[in-house]
Structure 1
Amino acid sequence: MSAEVRIDQGAIQRLLRRRGGKAYRQMEERARRVARFAEEEAPGSMGDFVSWDVVVGPKGLQGVVRCNHPAVLFVLKGTRPHIIRPRRRQALHFYVDGTEVFTKLVRHPGTRPNDFMARALRLGR
């Protein structure tokens, strides 16, 4: 009597990558957890722009967490001191301590980097 077992590596990989498979569900949970931390760590309303997904990449399943806020790079990398001038109007308009201000330029002091996405990744491990 003899028995033969053949392992189809491709079939195993397809099974693991299948939507709803065990590996997919685990990757989905990790991506969701990291995105939740990113939403909490993001400044202001930037957390509303955080989303996540699971994709099949060249090395297998990958969890992707992204922030699509227009100013996200300025927050992540920080900014140097710079001058802000009006583009379409003659003056900038804003409030300081409840006082209405009109001015032709603002000397912005810059901002420190706030890499909330990397912090979320560390917290989500």
Structure 2
Amino acid sequence: MSVDVRIDQGRLSRFLRLRGGIVERRLARRTARTADIARGLAPGSMGDYIDWHIESGPDGLQGVITCDHPATRFVLDGTRPHIIRPRRARALRFEVDGRVVYSAIVRHPGTRANPFLQRALRLGR
């Protein structure tokens, strides 16, 4: 599952729809800076899945930041408490305080939303 964030350059890019011009270079710098901030704010290895590019949109040029990690939606939106059951085995195996534990089910407490892409957009201005 992929999540896109778009940075619109505003009214100026509607009139100057030039590829390779000063508007595109400025937008590319801003988009790259915002993507770097998002990589730093992303949890775990999720930052490795963040990429960016410039494309032509309906109102001119747009900077697009994409995160292709499979759990991106769960991190951005958070999860409710849920039960985890094994799929291919009879028990789940994990570590708690350095010792191995086996369980037939786990009651996951859920996770709070982490809108790291939204924060990156605010910080990248």
TM-score, normalised to structure 1's length?
0.85
Q: Which runs of 4+ in 1 moved over 3 A?
A: none
Q: CA deviation at 1:40?
A: 0.4
Is residue 109 of structure 1 aligned with residue 89 of structure 2?
Answer: no
3-state SS of paired residue (2:101): strand
Bigger radius of gyration: 1
* Matching residue of 1:17: 18
Q: Which has the higher strand share?
A: 2
Gaps of 5+ in 2: 1-14
1:23-102 equivalent positions in 2, closer than 5 A:
23-102=23-102
Q: Percent identity between the aligned chains?
A: 58
TM-score, normalised to structure 2's length?
0.85
Q: CA deviation at 1:17?
A: 2.3
Q: CA deviation at 1:94?
A: 1.1
Letter in 2 for 1:17: L
The higher-RCO structure (CA 8 Å, 6+ apart) is 2
Provide, for residues 64-100 of structure 1, a one-character-per-residue CA deviation record: whole Å limited to 9, x for no partner. Answer: 0111110010000000000000011111111112111
3-state SS of paired residue (1:69): coil
> Would you say how many aligned residue pairs link Structure 1 and Structure 2?
111
| Root-mean-square deviation over aligned CA pairs | 1.1
Gaps of 5+ in 1: 1-11
**Cα contact 1:17–1:56 (8 A) shared by 2:** no
3-state SS of paired residue (1:17): coil
